[in-house]
Amino acid sequence: MKKLKAIHVNWTRPSCCIKGATDYKMSDFELLCLILSSLLWRKHNGTIKLYTDNVGYEYYKKLNLLSLWNGGIDVNTLESISEDVSPSIYWAAAKIFALQVESLPVVLLDTDLLVWENLERELEDVQLAAFHRESIATDCYLSMSELKKRSDYQFDSLWNWKEEPCNTALAYFNNEDFRKYYTSSAINFMQGNDEHPSDRVSQMVFAEQRLFSMCAKKMGVPIHTFLAEPYNGINDNYTHLWGAKQVALDDPDFHGKLCRSLLNAIQRDFPQYEIPQEILWLLQYKY
């Protein structure tokens, strides 16, 4: 029986804020991946719910995509994110706010990530899981002294800064105490902390990914990883577009190949799914 619940989260405010767009829209490969991500989850695992804002809801409604999420759609949560959380600095903050209110157990699934298998057996007796660990020795993970913070903010003295961060493009939560501590810690760090760093990622990955592992370490909650060696070997169970998205924007040939691959997977694995009339132009990528 497929009973794992997942959530997609799309907060449009960062996109409009960072890109200066007046009308929100997604690229063709983002739309195709979103469709495939939803359909794959429903096929292999269970229900999937969308957290978005009014702009996102109206956009998906216009494209006739609302039926993708068989677990329902929540607009109120992201519309309630306070103005003191900067969307240009904390562009993934909505995932934290969605997790704060969603019932457990739940899988947090990025819209650009595809899960090709059932995860129930792997997650038996698991309290907490992340996509994979990441090295602290990268430019995006700053030291305590380098991070921007409010004048009244204090880092928890029990956090272990040697703990490797966790990539949360795919994450599983089944520990209520951890959920409360992690989300409250991340939100406390982000609120009113609006000094822009010299890069675009360091503040966000601390709040989302480094706090994930440090909070778990402090609480003694073990972390299961879906990929033990993410950069070595062959992986047939997960596809994460992440870096490929920028390549697709810069390289027209790769852009076309990516769109064709995604559309082919939709039509191969879900022949009953009909691309809505509103986005039939995506069929230009049909083999």
Give the closest residue to 215 by CA, choosing from 204, 227, 223: 223
Structural domains in the chain plus CATH codes: 6-243 (3.90.550)
Does pTM top 0.85 for this prediction? yes
Confidence of residue 230 (pLDDT cuts 50, 70, 90): confident
**Which pLDDT value is given to residue 20?**
52
**Which pLDDT value is given to residue 18?**
54
Surface-to-core class of residue 84, CB atoms within 10 Å of its CB (0-12 exposed, 13-18 middle, 19+ buried): exposed
Q: What is the pLDDT of residues 255-266, one digit of tens each?
A: 999 999 999 999
Please say if the pLDDT value at position 19 is more than 60: no
Mean pLDDT for 2-9 is 93
Mean pLDDT for 157-186 is 98
Mean pLDDT for 6-30 is 85
**Which pLDDT value is given to residue 245?**
81
Q: Tell which wins on pLDDT, 206 or 19.
A: 206
Distances (CA, A) of 230 to 165, 237, 260: 14, 12, 25
Please say if the pLDDT value at position 2 is more than 70: no
Q: Give me the residue label for tokens 């650009």.
A: 112
Rg (CA), the chain: 19
